[in-house]
Amino acid sequence: MSNTMEVKGKRVIVTGAAFGIGKAMTESFLESGAEVVIVDINEEALKQTAGDLNVEYITADVSSEAEIKNIISTSNSSMGGIDIFCSNAGVGGESGLLNTTEEDWLNIWGVNVMSHIYAAKHSLPQMLEQESGYFVNTASAAGLLTQIGAAGYSVTKAAAVSFAEWLAITYGKKGIGVSCLCPQGVRTSMVEDAPGIVSALVGIDGIMEPADVASDVINAIESDQFLIAPHEKVLDYIKMKAQDYDRWIEGMQSLQTQLLDSFPDAEDMFK
């Protein structure tokens, strides 16, 4: 069963929409003729974006199940339903492992994983009733390949990929489409404000513009494509990883050594 969906005329929620990929996705949805409600925790930036794009907005913490339920309820009231839910909000979290706290882990897990779960849990009933719906879950190439120096980011993005897979397997034959967005470096504040060693790592295959990533998202929805990998090299890396896991780990260890040789002051970040 194909879950291809024409974006024109659809009712869309985009979280993490004040900046970056979320803002670019909103612009692409609007250009494609969709109606959009945008969500972010940064109220000031969200208001600015909503004003610039002339869309409804909801200030919310997407790691809260109650606030996700409110997003859905409010969006149903303003748009008369929901066709596409883009769980795009994400955080980079703390680096390394040894210096992280319980609070660090709970925070990154809540935003990067539970927000996707809550969105699906509370949107699915009405999507199943209307026999159509689509989820776009933003993960990262780190969810497929890990992120050197960032245990929390690696673990949560892998979990986000895994949940998107489960969602597609469980509901794909019931009219529910799922796409999982896994880019590498994208020109966003998360990348541009990152320490030099992180920017060097995520930009290893080039930094993409948010608008190009957003265009890939629209195309994926309209062709019912699960994995969105804007950086094509990521697909090669996945194959290499699957073919020889030990060799892949050795290669990642070598890459980490090279990075630390170039940025010796960053060693504490990788512990």
Cβ contact 150:142 at 8 Å: yes
Return the bridge partners of 180, or none: 137, 227
Q: Going by C-beta distance under 8 Å and a sequence separation of 6 or more, which residues neighbour residue 31?
A: none
Beta strands 84-87; 133-138: pairing state? parallel
Q: How many CA atoms lie within 13 A of 173 on its CB side?
A: 2
Cβ contact 214:28 at 8 Å: yes
Which one from 153, 171, 237, 245 is the annotated catalytic residue?
Answer: 153
Q: At what angle do helices 115-130 and 151-171 cross, to 10 degrees?
A: 10
* Closest CA relative to residue 41, chosen from 12, 19, 56: 19
pTM (2 d.p.): 0.93
Q: Residue 88 and residue 160: Cα distance in Å, rounded?
A: 11
pLDDT at 102: 98
Q: pLDDT tens-digit profile of 94-127?
A: 999 999 999 999 999 999 999 999 999 999 999 9
Q: Does residue 134 have an active-site annotation?
A: no
Q: pLDDT tens-digit profile of 20-36?
A: 999 999 999 999 999 99
**Residues 15-24, mean pLDDT to the nearest whole number:** 95
Hey, what domains does the chain have and what are their CATH numbers? 11-270 (3.40.50.720)
